[in-house]
Every structure is written in C-alpha cells, then in structure tokens.
Structure 1
Amino acid sequence: MKTSKRWTEEDDARLKQFYAAGVKSVDIAAILQRTRSAVHVRAQHLGVANRLARGDENPKWIAICAICEDGVPRSVRELSDLTGAKYNSIEHLLRLRQSRGHAHIVSYAPPEWRGPHRPLWLPVPGRDAVPPAVSKRAVRRRELRAARAAAAKPVGPVPDMKIKRKVAPAQRVIGAPQHELVRALFGMGVAA
C-alpha cells in the first residue's frame, strides 16, 4: 500500500470523528488507507491522539475500578485475569496511578509457594501498606548461595592444569633441501 499521499481536510475531519467514536487505530488506518503509524502521527498533530488512554477514561483503569468497587483488594495477577489485559500493562498502570496518588497497596498476600509477598491493590487514594520484612530463612539461604558461589570460583590457575601456549609454526624455507620426488612433482626446494 502506497502511503505517501498528503492529508486533506476531509481526511483530518474523518480522523477526528473516528477518534471521538473510539475506533481502533488499526481500523482507522485500513479505512483511510494509511499506515497505523501515519494515523498516530497525524492524530498527535491534530491533538486527538490517545484521548481514550488518558486519565480516568483509560479502558483498563475503568475496568479495574469496576472490579474493585466491592472494596476487596486484588493482586495484579487477579486484575490481569479479570480484565484480560497483560500482567505488565496492569502493573505499570497501577504503579503510575500509585505515584500520582490514585491507587495504593492495601496489604501483601503471602507467596503461594516461593517468592516475595504479592501486593494487593485498590484503585482509590490511600496510604500504602508497609511491605513485610524478608524472612530470616530467606536471608540465610541468600547468604549460603553467595558463600557457595564464592567458594566454587577458582582464584588462580589450577595446579594440575597445563596451560597451553601458542607455538608459532615452523618457518618454511623455499631453498631447503627436498627429496627428489618432491622436487620432480612440485618443483620445490633444492637437491639434497
């Protein structure tokens, strides 16, 4: 698809209508016969880009708020499963909203099997819970792993190990004496 055509006022008007209606950028690009990146750049130029993703109009944020209306804090994994969004996307959104004072960590759930405690979130302003201290057992295991790794690392060369050194190949002398058969076949060397 050739996409080097200029944007007309009609295209700009249609682009604004599509963004106002909440049409996905992929669909807008197909309708206007442009690339998705061209649609994004033009939308930013017109000042209509990412309107749905801003503030409280973000669909993921709206879904999280609706899920947590009951006041039950949930982990990022639960929110990811319930909204259908990716884990990293939900975690990034919650951390961003936490930094702006719109979400907070209510408490920490113990790990299911191993690992750190999982934060439980609510999408309302509040004070963050203090993270639980790392257990003595976890600290001890970490120290043991570090000690084993340090002990396993050899400090210098092992005494039984022979160190191979590169030896330069012997210089070939063209005028060296050669067997008469070699001289006859290859024309090398001088008579011995």
Structure 2
Amino acid sequence: MKPYYEHTGITIYHGDCREILPRLDPVDLVLTDPPYGISHPCKYKSRGRGALAQCRDYPNVYGDDKPFDPAPYINQPAILWGANHYANRLPNSGGWAVWDKQRPDSLDQSTCELAWSNIIKGVRRIAYLWNGMIRAGKDELFHPTQKPIEVMRWCLLLKWTKDKQSILDPFMGAGTTLRAAKDLGRKAIGIETEE
C-alpha cells in the first residue's frame, strides 16, 4: 500500500479508513474527529447574512449520513471527538475532554465539544476561542468540522498522552492532528477520503 504523502514521520493515505486500517501497524494513540452521523449541512453561504455571507461552502462530510461505529478504535488508547453524538455505542468512561469554544450562549451552535477517551482520567477542559470567523490563533479553515491545531496539540500534551509517539487520525480532514503531532516531534498517520 503506497502512501499519498510521506515525509519526516508524517504519513497520509488517501482512501477509506475501513480498507486501510487493517494493513497498518498498531499505533500508540488514536486521536480523531470522525463523522458523527448527524448529516450536518456544510452550505454556510446560504445561511449567512452580512459578514457571514462571505463564509465558505464546503462539500458535505463523507460518511456523515451514516451512524459512526467507534468499535474499531476503542480497544487501543483513544480520544474520539464528537462522542456525545454516538455515546450509546461507546463503553462507559470517566475520561472526557471538553473543548470550551468561548462562544456566547445566544448562538444556536454548541459552546463546547466533547471527546470520549479510554485513557484520560476525569474530565479535562481546554478553553480556546473558535467562533466562526472569530478565532484565537491563525488557523485557516479548510474543512467544515475542523479542530484547531492548538486543541489537538493540547490532547497530545495531556499527562496520559505525552509519551505516545505514534498517532493515528483515520478521519484526517484538514490534518490538524498531524500538524500538532509533527510540531511535537511525533510520528503520525492520517487517512482521508477527500483529496
């Protein structure tokens, strides 16, 4: 199986993770933001007014029209974002990560996101501003459900993950997990269906 991209510990495969994963060696940690199975619309221009009308439209997220099956990822150390959307398919865990987006409650969008984990102990929170066009940092938006690099870096620096040297993101999207891993000198594998 030939990687789409490979350089200094970062490997990207273009394709369906269900076909690629069985051929990969085990990794130390799965850190991913999978399609939740909620058919989230990604056409922002038609919903925007004023400055929001300048927002980008994105293609719908591949696989978001089907319920997400976390089973292939939960028998190894994992942090799975969006887990509140498929919690009924996850084993009980006292370990959750919370990303506080620092959004006002007056908006219809979530003010935080949740990640299930089988290695984090207790509930851990990061506050990082991410409110549409108003964002901390300089991350450009390439994907409709993109997580900030800083949030993924935080995940990799938790005391339960800082020794994990090989990271897998089977739903790579914009690649922020891989960027965070590279910045920290870790090896990472990403899989993405879209080019």
TM-score, shorter chain, exceeding 0.5: no
Q: TM-score, normalised by structure 1?
A: 0.22
Q: TM-score, normalised by structure 2?
A: 0.21
Look at both structures and tell me which one has the larger radius of gyration over its CA atoms: 1
Larger strand fraction of residues: 2
RCO (CA 8 Å, sep 6+): is it higher in 1 or 2? 2
Larger helix fraction of residues: 1
